[in-house]
Structure 1
Amino acid sequence: MSIDSYGLVTTTDSHEAQRAFENAVFGLAAHRPNTAAGLQKVLLADPDHVPSHALKGFANLILARSELLPTTKTALADARKALAKKKGGSTDERTLVEALEAATRGWFRHAADMLEDGFETRPATFLPFKLSHALRFMAGDQAGMLAASSRAALRLDPASKAAGFILGCHAFSLEEHGRYDEALRVGRRAVALQPDDAWGLHAVSHVFEMRGDTRPGIDWLENSRSTWSRCNNFSFHMAWHLGLLHLEGGDHERVLQIYDDEVRPQPTDDFRDMANAVSLLWRLEQSGVHVGERWAQLAEVAHGRRRDTTLVFAALHNLAAMVAAGDHRGVRELVSEIDFKAWGKGDQARVAAEIGVPMARILAGLDAPADRQSIDRMVANLPKIGGSNAQRDFFVLALAKAVGKGGDGATVSRIGRIRQRLKADDQLFQSIERSVGMRLSA
């Protein structure tokens, strides 16, 4: 048995594998593009390195692509074989593998519970902590994220390699609960301890966005560009935040430049990249900006994933792209797939039933009166869809826009009041409210 520098007990006896694994975990923490290559190095040195097989499985699972489920299952099978060869492995290794099995079956929250329960006495052990944080983020479990990060922060050794990364996650959890002063303080401390903590940088940028502190937010992101620009596609998301801040500042030309050069520099179909692009283009259009042919490229990607409802959050962004481009056949197919998803099992089936189906119908312009009557409940339940408050704000705005088209100013105002509990009033929501007023006075 050996303990890596992030506190995980493993059964490897290869120093080379241990070093390579620690580098891979650092890559995961810092959102670097070399994590997969790092895991390959580990498995070359120790083909039965249990945590590497488990991490490979989680990494594919978190991409939320239906075609990667077989790869995730293969990684799980390889991890189980490695456990057998290591005579059952360590307790830490068994916990990782058991949690991966639960997540592979679609039970993200249960998998996160297993990771936290398995490391109850060592909540600041970084890899299980980070995986649990990611699973709860995708499952929309804000309360669970904050509970876990609070436990880890209390037991944290400030001198540990993981200290800054864990505090960055804690700052984000605080921000998602609207505890902005604490989030700002903890996030700044996280980055001071670990300058490579892109998630901590990200948490602080969220605070500026939600408070409407446009200029300080732009300065924060520009001054930290040397860090987040070295990330994997997480750099696209950081640029998205920069674009949102410039949009609120009214600099539409700068936003289009950021979109082309940094938010959508590659035509990927990663759901996170699509979410960035779709929500920013939609906001630009609602702000009266002509976006040219940019929707066509997004709609083409979305059409290719019109039958994938692995993650409802992703499916709804794909739906919005096809709606914007007028892909009526693709829209009908994806709405039908989300309907079907709601009859299944697992966390995402419940999300589809409670949020996905009515939201899809409203985005597609197919909403019935019953859907309209549940608007307030939908806004309140939106966290269940996963992502951050800033990301889900796209759906809040889209709902307000859809309701406003029918001239229901009272409901738009209620949505605005709910929204203001977390986000400062902004120009885009004000323009939606004005458009309702103009319809009513016409």
Structure 2
Amino acid sequence: MAHHDRRGLPVSTRSGRAAAHYRDGVDLLLSAWPGAEDALDAAIAADPGFALAWAARARLHAMRTESAAARDGIAQAAACVARAGTERERSHVAVLSLAIDGQSGPALARALAHLESWPLDALILSLPLGAFGLFAFSGQPDHDQARVDLCERHAHAYDSEDWWFTTSRGWAHTENGAVARGRALAEHGFSLRRENANGVHALSHALFEDGAGTEAEALIAGWLPAYDRSGILHGHIAWHAALAALERGDADAALAIYASHVRPAVTAGLSLNVITDTVSLLWRLHAYGHAVPAGLWDEIRAYATPSFAQAGFGFADVHMGLLAAATGDRAAAQERIDALTALVEAGTLAPGPVVPAICRAALAFAEGDDAACARILEPVATEVVRIGGSGAQRAVIEDTLLLALMRAGETGKARALLDARLHRRPSPRDTRWRAQLTA
């Protein structure tokens, strides 16, 4: 009897139990829901020669930065698929092998080619998508549009009731500026499967971009208690609620959420999420004029330094630059700036010169040199998208530029930037700042 994955693609296993566990495991992986590890381990136990189960398990290890286990798992998958696997399965394993090996450019190219033949291979389609996907970290200035193009190219293959694709498609449109369409798709995808952390995440982004922060807070407050703290997006989704609270000026609420869900000591999130969420939220708090409680910056520095000491990952580098600037560690900030500049000169830093520029601007801002901060950031403002992540995450850089302009007395430039932001994304904080400039 032939067995298939959730979307009808054949899988090479003789075990019906293994196939069922695999379908469940991939569903849980794509929804960032706890239990994927157990389901995939059960699939492997039922059929130790099941290549795709090994590959999915390796992908999960890689997401958690468990590098050695990821490499071992994908090697097992490659050995299994060489003995008994279809052309699709061999290609599937090859794509994941490149991604796990850190060969992002070749992995993206091979994933796109793979999807031309097998667009329903959702695990492979997931790789270029998302804020931390292969497109986002490619350094391309048009990666938001590229995700939309990819989703639309393959939309014909997916049922309109496919919860994963509908959610992913919605997120892509939201990030590319089609907020109404993105929100509608995200809401529909979330309604199809509520036990889906990626679903509520996509919807949170849509609400942020739609200026509906209070709706985002209500959504998260009602949903998050049912999502176990072991879920990799638990802390990040709580960060969205904290960000919404801060947008409306409630620093105490933001800090309470941070203390309960976001700080390194309480979250089981991915290390990249942990460092970027914590740094960006505390940076905003301080920049907006609120006090950051003693010890919080030190906790982040202790957590981040072992994992992100080496320069070369632009999105992390930006946040490490903010961290060094915020803690007054000029030596660490300059060391990273110098290392990043060398990588730019060597042509090996995907996002390019914008990364060291942001770090230099952050240092100037932290040291009170607002004019220098604005002078550095203004020419590269349109290039910030190259660092990847989401619009909500990158907004901290635009906030820094805006505040630097305001404090440096560049009222006309600040007013123009605020008007553009309010047109693009209504915000109670921007409305208050706009009123201050016209008072």
TM-score range, shorter chain: 0.7 to 0.9
* Corresponding letter in the other structure for 1:157: D
Distance 2:261 2:229 in 1: 12
Show CA shifts across 1:101-141 (max 9, x none): 44346443542342233232542332222223232244462
Distance 2:8 2:111 in 1: 14
Instruction: Decide whether the 8 Å contact of 1:306 with 1:330 is kept in 2.
Output: no
Structure 1 residue 313 displacement after superposition = 0.8
Paired residue for 2:283? Answer: 282
Instruction: Decide whether the 8 Å contact of 2:9 with 2:120 is kept in 1.
Output: no
Residues 342, 17 of structure 1: alpha-carbon distance in 2 compared, 3 angstrom cutoff: farther
Paired residue for 1:398? Answer: 400
Instruction: Decide whether the 8 Å contact of 1:236 with 1:262 is kept in 2.
Output: yes
Structure 1 residue 297 displacement after superposition = 0.7
Q: Helix, strand or coil: the match of 2:353? A: helix
Residues 14, 339 of structure 1: alpha-carbon distance in 2 compared, 3 angstrom cutoff: farther
Instruction: Decide whether the 8 Å contact of 2:52 with 2:77 is kept in 1.
Output: yes
Instruction: Decide whether the 8 Å contact of 1:102 with 1:111 is kept in 2.
Output: yes
Structure 1 residue 402 displacement after superposition = 4.2
- The partner residue of 2:318 within 316, 319, 325 is 316
Paired residue for 2:231? Answer: 232
Residue pairs, 1:8-157, within 5 angstroms: 8-63=9-64, 69-86=67-84, 89-104=85-100, 106-108=102-104, 110-133=106-129, 134-139=133-138, 141-157=143-159
Structure 1 residue 188 displacement after superposition = 1.6
Show CA shifts across 1:43-102 (max 9, x none): 333333322333344344445x5xx5555444443332222222xx21222222222344
Q: Helix, strand or coil: the match of 1:43? A: helix
Instruction: Decide whether the 8 Å contact of 2:3 with 2:16 is kept in 1.
Output: no
Residue pairs, 1:356-367, within 5 angstroms: 356-365=355-364
Structure 1 residue 343 displacement after superposition = 4.8
Instruction: Decide whether the 8 Å contact of 1:17 with 1:43 is kept in 2.
Output: yes
Distance 2:435 2:356 in 1: 25
* Corresponding letter in the other structure for 2:24: N
Instruction: Decide whether the 8 Å contact of 2:229 with 2:267 is kept in 1.
Output: no
Instruction: Decide whether the 8 Å contact of 2:371 with 2:405 is kept in 1.
Output: no
Distance 2:247 2:360 in 1: 28
* Corresponding letter in the other structure for 1:338: L
* Corresponding letter in the other structure for 1:282: W
Paired residue for 1:337? Answer: 339
* Corresponding letter in the other structure for 2:147: M
401-410 or 136-145, larger mean C-alpha shift:
401-410
Instruction: Decide whether the 8 Å contact of 1:190 with 1:197 is kept in 2.
Output: no
Paired residue for 1:256? Answer: 255
* Corresponding letter in the other structure for 1:330: A
Matched, 1:207 2:206: yes
Instruction: Decide whether the 8 Å contact of 2:4 with 2:19 is kept in 1.
Output: no
Structure 1 residue 279 displacement after superposition = 1.2
Paired residue for 1:378? Answer: 380
* Corresponding letter in the other structure for 1:288: G
Instruction: Decide whether the 8 Å contact of 1:403 with 1:412 is kept in 2.
Output: yes
Distance 1:432 1:314 in 2: 31
Instruction: Decide whether the 8 Å contact of 1:228 with 1:235 is kept in 2.
Output: yes
Instruction: Decide whether the 8 Å contact of 2:314 with 2:350 is kept in 1.
Output: no
Provide structure 1 residue ranges, at least 5 long, that are not aligned to the other structure. none
274-283 or 77-86, larger mean C-alpha shift:
77-86
* Corresponding letter in the other structure for 1:205: S
- After superposition, the CA RMSD in angstroms is 3.2
Distance 1:298 1:5 in 2: 40
Instruction: Decide whether the 8 Å contact of 1:396 with 1:415 is kept in 2.
Output: no
Residues 328, 182 of structure 1: alpha-carbon distance in 2 compared, 3 angstrom cutoff: same
* Identical pairs, percent: 21
TM-score normalized by the length of structure 2: 0.85
Structure 1 residue 425 displacement after superposition = 4.3
* Corresponding letter in the other structure for 1:169: S
Provide structure 2 residue ranges, at least 5 long, that are not aligned to the other structure. none
Structure 1 residue 276 displacement after superposition = 1.3
